[in-house]
Structure 1
């Protein structure tokens, strides 16, 4: 693409400078969800008769009595000792039940009591992190023993009926039809719940609830079909919203392979407070790094609210910002499923060439990342024949530009919830294009002064200009000004701000300490 290497280096340096103040802010804050995630790593499961998780009940009780400025670990493990309860799942759930009944008085221990609590908390949390480590090694063994998808791009298909027991046979059928990654979309609105539902769920709107049991059931079903097919089928869900850290932990414990985890999606499209999001995101990405999970970012969403040509540089800026945040949290290049989309108005002259320019720019900037390429949605009209053709062009762009994760487009997009037959036709489209043109990338060399290369250089230059403004104004202010997705989100607004707590001197978080260290 003949990009100026000095300009590329400047873009990355600016993205790092833009994210550093936000990382510093995240390091000095905790949230109710971060503290609940720590408890879940230590073994807390289950819910009370009102279906509120015990993790929520424990954190709420500690916050009410002594606050969360020092973290939940010291008060909880001190109380376990005072109540004569052991650690792990049984002791923690028993403590939560007693606290719910008003039978526990929490305190912030000092001296030997504090030392005892620190050691006990670190022991229990270390056991949970060890389980995440074991699940990662289990994935590696299964891929080695069963086999992997024969090539990239991985074919990524969505399944979500609302009923996990209906999702399972549909997911297995999709894998048999060629899908390499199964994504279970969450029920609409779950990102706004400040708790994680418990158990297997059989009703959800436009998606299925993300719960630990649903993760376990789907992972077991995909393991079964993986052995049948002789290739490991990956499972995706969503670590976003108000419970981002907890869902990340549950994904690590149940061996999910990919998680939607974007630095700004919840802020822009769910009106979740920016500070809450960035604190939760950092912890969740540390968990993903440890678990060997590939994250998928959501830049494609910007192009549903902003013009795909005029706002192309905001996608590039967000990809660079997502990369900087991810690297700081410990994620490696192979775990960065940075997002972008085929959303230019097809009636625009040279629209396909412009799509190729944007896709090649992303591939050139992030050569080792498994980029996630999203199909057309904004300009689908209900004409299924036109939609099928657009999806074919999208698949061809993915093959030409070496995308890593290809989300299957549906010709009935934005018309109806796809039938199994729609999915089968969509998979046939993908298979035909990849079989016929999958190796075309090695022959495709845009002319150095042609429209494709010129457009890519233009977008990169615009991205650098925008990053310079973001560095000057601050990332939080840029978000408040509507820089991304034309949506204004001030740092002191949005859902979940009341769940953010500034850390005090002596704050103790054994989970964060373990995740900061190399596995």
Structure 2
């Protein structure tokens, strides 16, 4: 139970939420009015398309890309991809979607939008196929619940979140299992550099990533199976995290739901700001991906920590609160409850500033009290890591202490070489030891911690909340897309018509058909 230590005016908090909802509303309507190539591919993945064309001269091309691109060329995506696909399946008397994809690659299929009884038959078959995929997501969620009940959750909060990033899924498994044995509760497999800008999801197990490992369905399956085994060994369910972001956000969300991932990085603006992905594409894709996460029971982690690596962590503190409120609103609209909102924030104030630790406590307590039921994800220092490993280790200790003092839910393990070099295994071991010491020595200190009602921490938290309300009022007047274009968040200016993937956005026709969206919104399975 979150204690009220800051004396926040609940009327001000309620006003901030109302303003966030008003700012988000036009963007939600925009998202509902569009589809994207990634949403259509994700839906076909739920319907059962897997595999890739391995004969293509430019490299493997996923069958789902081949099919959606061809449908778009032949008859457009304004009514969705499913009706042309399942009409063609019957028209050509093909048994599987893979056979249809192979025939498509061979130039043997001409996709058309069916009408009349042909449309009804295609819709019925499509609905049945997508329903099977949704039911698999439901089974994965039920299996997670069963394993947590049987094996047990970690005995303490915050959960300890550790990153592995070798580029080779087999090496990742070794590091992940050893990290779990050392005390990690959550394993995040970092994606290979640049994967967020690929407009396709690679197939199969991979061993050649750069500074991370490719997110693929097979890699998800391999890591989940390995963590299930080590969960039994250590006596607590080890959670798996990956990244539902970038140009394939909806597809990776679907693959995560099918393969029982437990958490996924999924922010409403990160791809826009830090990967220069088209804003409209991002908002359309994130709505669908969050509907999938809601159905799968996957905790999303948002990316507000990144604002503080590009902007000043003191001056821009209120932009973190604003983004958290927007992320909350977009998530709620997509069906995600508070217990699945791993809203992000970070320990990124320059440690040389007087009272820097007190300000960190103020910001962390503000997030905790504004979002009392959310599993907040607290991110370690990176911007001010200098390569002095002793200073860095001490700074991480202060970060860990702030986390337990302010009741954070998910603690990403900070390492003394963070943002300087790729950490060694020994760095991870020392970092986990740092966390374990603080949790053991001060894990219950929060019950004794009460900032002075008229002191520095309380005043700073009130100031940040008031500044957040002021910014939300401006965003409400000018529009969220304009605010993004002006560099409001993280100093990144991204115009709504620009960015990568804009050509993959399609305005829906009145006859648009996508049973996955209907099932995700209503809870149906057929």
- Whether the TM-score (by the shorter chain) exceeds 0.5 is yes
2:225 — aligned with what? Answer: 220
Task: Tell whether 2:404 aligns with 1:399.
Answer: yes
CA distance in 1, matches of 2:26, 2:165: 38
CA distance in 1, matches of 2:425, 2:510: 56
Q: Please, which moves more after superposition, 30-39 or 414-423?
A: 414-423
CA distance in 2, matches of 1:23, 1:245: 16
Q: Residue by residue, what CA displacement relative to the aligned partner does 1:390-418 show, whole Å, maximum 9, x if unpaired?
A: 00000000000000000000001122211
Instruction: Say which SS state the counterpart of residue 274 (structure 2) adopts.
Output: helix
Q: Residue by residue, what CA displacement relative to the aligned partner does 1:402-454 show, whole Å, maximum 9, x if unpaired?
A: 00000000001122211111100000000000111111111111111100000
Q: C-alpha displacement at 1:71, in angstroms?
A: 0.1
1:294 — aligned with what? Answer: 299
1:238 — aligned with what? Answer: 243
Moved over 4 A (4+): none
1:57 — aligned with what? Answer: 66
Q: What is the count of residue pairs matched by the alignment?
A: 515
2:197 — aligned with what? Answer: 192
Q: C-alpha displacement at 1:151, in angstroms?
A: 1.5
Indicate which of 37, 40, 43 corresponds to 1:35.
Answer: 40
1:486 — aligned with what? Answer: 491
Task: Tell whether 2:504 aligns with 1:499.
Answer: yes
Instruction: Say which SS state the counterpart of residue 155 (structure 1) adopts.
Output: strand
CA distance in 2, matches of 1:7, 1:321: 16
Q: Residue by residue, what CA displacement relative to the aligned partner does 1:87-110 show, whole Å, maximum 9, x if unpaired?
A: xxxx11110110111000111111
Task: Tell whether 2:319 aligns with 1:314.
Answer: yes
Q: Aligned-residue CA RMSD in angstroms?
A: 0.6
2:357 — aligned with what? Answer: 352
2:3 — aligned with what? Answer: none
CA distance in 2, matches of 1:81, 1:200: 33
Instruction: Say which SS state the counterpart of residue 373 (structure 1) adopts.
Output: strand
Instruction: Say which SS state the counterpart of residue 345 (structure 2) adopts.
Output: strand
CA distance in 2, matches of 1:308, 1:296: 20
CA distance in 1, matches of 2:467, 2:276: 27
2:383 — aligned with what? Answer: 378
1:454 — aligned with what? Answer: 459
Instruction: Say which SS state the counterpart of residue 449 (structure 1) adopts.
Output: coil
Indicate which of 64, 72, 83 corresponds to 2:81.
Answer: 72
Q: C-alpha displacement at 1:83, in angstroms?
A: 1.0
CA distance in 2, matches of 1:146, 1:154: 16
1:12 — aligned with what? Answer: 17
TM-score, normalised by the number of residues in structure 2:
0.97
Q: C-alpha displacement at 1:500, in angstroms?
A: 0.1
Indicate which of 94, 101, 105 corresponds to 2:110.
Answer: 105
Instruction: Say which SS state the counterpart of residue 224 (structure 1) adopts.
Output: helix
CA distance in 2, matches of 1:19, 1:114: 35
Instruction: Say which SS state the counterpart of residue 237 (structure 1) adopts.
Output: strand
1:334 — aligned with what? Answer: 339
Indicate which of 128, 131, 156 corresponds to 1:126.
Answer: 131
Instruction: Say which SS state the counterpart of residue 52 (structure 2) adopts.
Output: coil
Instruction: Say which SS state the counterpart of residue 283 (structure 1) adopts.
Output: helix
Q: Unaligned regions of 5+ residues in structure 2, if any? A: 1-5
CA distance in 1, matches of 2:400, 2:11: 32
CA distance in 1, matches of 2:495, 2:520: 30
1:265 — aligned with what? Answer: 270
Q: C-alpha displacement at 1:85, in angstroms?
A: 2.1
CA distance in 1, matches of 2:105, 2:520: 30
Q: Unaligned regions of 5+ residues in structure 1, if any? A: none
Instruction: Say which SS state the counterpart of residue 375 (structure 2) adopts.
Output: coil
Q: Please, which moves more after superposition, 437-446 or 170-179?
A: 437-446
Instruction: Say which SS state the counterpart of residue 523 (structure 2) adopts.
Output: coil
CA distance in 1, matches of 2:252, 2:418: 28
Instruction: Say which SS state the counterpart of residue 316 (structure 1) adopts.
Output: helix
